[in-house]
Structure 1
Amino acid sequence: MELRQLRYFVTVAEELHFGRAAERLNIVQPAVSQQVARLERELGLRLLDRSSRHVRLTGDGERMLREARAVLSAADHAGEVAAGLASGRSGVLRIGTAPGLRARLERGLTTLRTNTPDLDIQLSSGTTAEYLTALRSGSLDVAFVRGDVAAADLRVVELWRDPLSVLVPTAYRSDDGVKLVDLADLPLRLPADDVWLRDHLVAACREAGFEPVLGRAIGDFEAAVVEMTTGSPAWTVVYGTACEAAEGALWMGPFSPPRTAPGNLLTAVGPSLECLGELVAAFG
């Protein structure tokens, strides 16, 4: 799916006439028809009813029109942000952040503000799903997300990899790295909104030969640490190697073999490669 195809489809849907759509797009009519037909084949949907007398949207076409407009709006907005960054004009850059990125954010924002002193940067927090929706709608310009991301309509650039560290009762400590199979009898507690981490660890446990016992989801990490220190034994996983744990009761260390998580920069497809390169250089 290409932005060009979406633009052609939206224009035809607004004009309900291939000829007028071609005039509005300043291209020949066969090109419009070919690209819209290609979009329908790629989606496996019939978006338009065509006859010699009229062009009408199908039910699927009406629903797709709303989504296509949202994607194009996000791309146009991102392009405006990119143009502002490239030209040095003041503007607003809205960034979705992830926990544990303070040093990376401070370094990157310092670089951006040095190059664009009047840039207004707004940080927000949320889940991966919320960031994907916000990027597509244009209400967010950039997001940092951990874990694999499948989003063909967005740009996903891996900037770094975080080690995954295991937090366990001290009795399970292993300076050479904790093997997953050694944790088979312990409940696994994970953040409720981190779908990638849950899926990654469940799959890894199954590969190690056991089905993990999923404990109560973690809402507040500090509270969970207190519960793990004073209550029933459990284990969890954190990104990186820094964690506030109760000394003596819990131990944090690496897996054996080591495990990592990708850290990604996400943007809409609109920003120029120059702007994308500036973001990668600042935050990579």
Structure 2
Amino acid sequence: MELRDIEIFLTLAEELHFGRTAERLHVTQARVSQAIAKQERRIGAALFERTSRQVVLTPLGARLREDLQAGYERIRGGMETAMETARGVRGSLRLGIFGPNAHDLAPVTKLFRQRYPSCDLSFHEVGISDPFGPLRTGQVDVQTCWLPVREPDLAVGPVIFEGPMSLMVSDDHPLAGRRQVRLEDLSDCVLPAIPEPAPHYWVEAVEPFRTPSGRPIPRGPQVTTFQEVIGFVLTSGLAAVVHADGPRYYQRPGIVYLPIEDAPPGRWALIWRTAAETELVRAYVRAAEEARGKLRHQGLEPAAETRRRRSRPESLT
């Protein structure tokens, strides 16, 4: 089996969609179909079950994926290391992160370190009140950020993961006894104010200013860090809309997380300053793209997987 055919098989096994596989590998959908058909003829059995609604691995296909994955990653890793060594990729990469993003990015960072052991990688926390400042001043080279990012001088890379949004309240808040809330309920809350230079559109993506029906959502004290948000929630009745890393990493006595059932998932990506793009930045972005499968094992959901689950009939979820 040729390396490219192995790559097509493993990508389809992850995406479970012929169109997305073709788009991700920059080939035609016919090329994907031909490669899978050739593999199935050679093996003598089906690797995927196809219907008009979904594509799933057969038991034989699942076993083949397990057998091929580790070897493929070693081959790709060896080739990438050799090419980067030949190109002389060295130096320092400063990675900007929000809160606990370093935990979420561990598979990416480990892969990057394995491939570029001579490169120095450091972490720098980015504040929510100035999300793009460290990039523009050169304090960091590439960073995580929730979407959308609509800055003309910044490049937006791959969506690394996405997850459900929750409302964080104290355990004596009027909504604390609910199992879940809706966006319309936010008009009965006071949300934190994130000051400039954080752009209005960027703040609104997480902390909306109006409910879907147009009711205003009150604002409380200004905050610049997540720890400040927690302090106000615990002591002043403030509520806060948070990403999936809130309940995952910030379980605290007196804090309750309520799923927001009609909120779109929060999406995170890598961003960098277009004019300052380096080979090291591109190398870290490639590592992020290739480590998507490992993120799933941490309890994170890459974007394609979440879209796939949402598109299935209710009875299949």
Q: What TM bracket, shorter-length normalisation?
A: 0.5 to 0.7
Aligned to 1:96: 96
Unaligned runs of 5+ in 1: 1-82
User: Quick one: which of 270, 287, 299 aligns to 1:278?
Assistant: 287
Matched, 1:189 2:192: yes
Counterpart Cα distance in 1 of 2:259 and 2:92:
39
Counterpart Cα distance in 2 of 1:149 and 1:86:
34
Map 1:128-207 to 2 at 5 A.
Answer: 128-134=131-137, 140-157=140-157, 158-170=159-171, 171-173=174-176, 176-192=179-195, 195=199, 196=201, 198-201=203-206, 203=208, 205-207=210-212
Give the TM-score taking structure 2 as reference length: 0.52
Give the TM-score taking structure 1 as reference length: 0.57
SS at match of 2:114: helix
Deviations 1:143-190 (A, max 9, x none): 111121113443212222232211124431365521232232332124
Aligned to 1:68: none
Deviations 1:207-245 (A, max 9, x none): 2331111001224544543443344x2211222133233
Deviations 1:32-73 (A, max 9, x none): xxxxxxxxxxxxxxxxxxxxxxxxxxxxxxxxxxxxxxxxxx
Aligned to 2:303: none
SS at match of 1:266: strand
Matched, 1:213 2:218: yes
Aligned to 1:228: 233
Map 1:27-176 to 2 at 5 A.
Answer: 87=87, 89-126=89-126, 127-134=130-137, 140-157=140-157, 158-170=159-171, 171-173=174-176, 176=179
Question: Identical aligned pairs, as a percentage?
Answer: 18
Deviations 1:63-109 (A, max 9, x none): xxxxxxxxxxxxxxxxxxxx967736431112111212122332222
Instruction: Check whether the contact 1:180–1:205 (CA below 8 A) recurs between aligned residues.
Output: no
Matched, 1:245 2:248: no
Unaligned runs of 5+ in 2: 1-82, 296-317
Counterpart amino acid of residue 287 in structure 2: E
Change in Cα spacing, 1:254 to 1:228, as seen in structure 2 (3 Å) is: same
**Higher Rg of the two aligned structures:** 1
User: Quick one: which of 272, 278, 288 aligns to 1:267?
Assistant: 272
Considering only aligned residues, what root-mean-square deviation do their CA atoms show, in Å? 3.2
Q: CA deviation at 1:199?
A: 1.9
Change in Cα spacing, 1:230 to 1:278, as seen in structure 2 (3 Å) is: closer
Counterpart Cα distance in 2 of 1:176 and 1:86:
56
- Number of aligned positions between the proteins: 196
Point out the more displaced range, 117-126 or 219-228.
219-228
Counterpart Cα distance in 2 of 1:85 and 1:177:
52
Aligned to 1:23: none
Counterpart Cα distance in 2 of 1:192 and 1:205:
17
Counterpart amino acid of residue 123 in structure 1: F
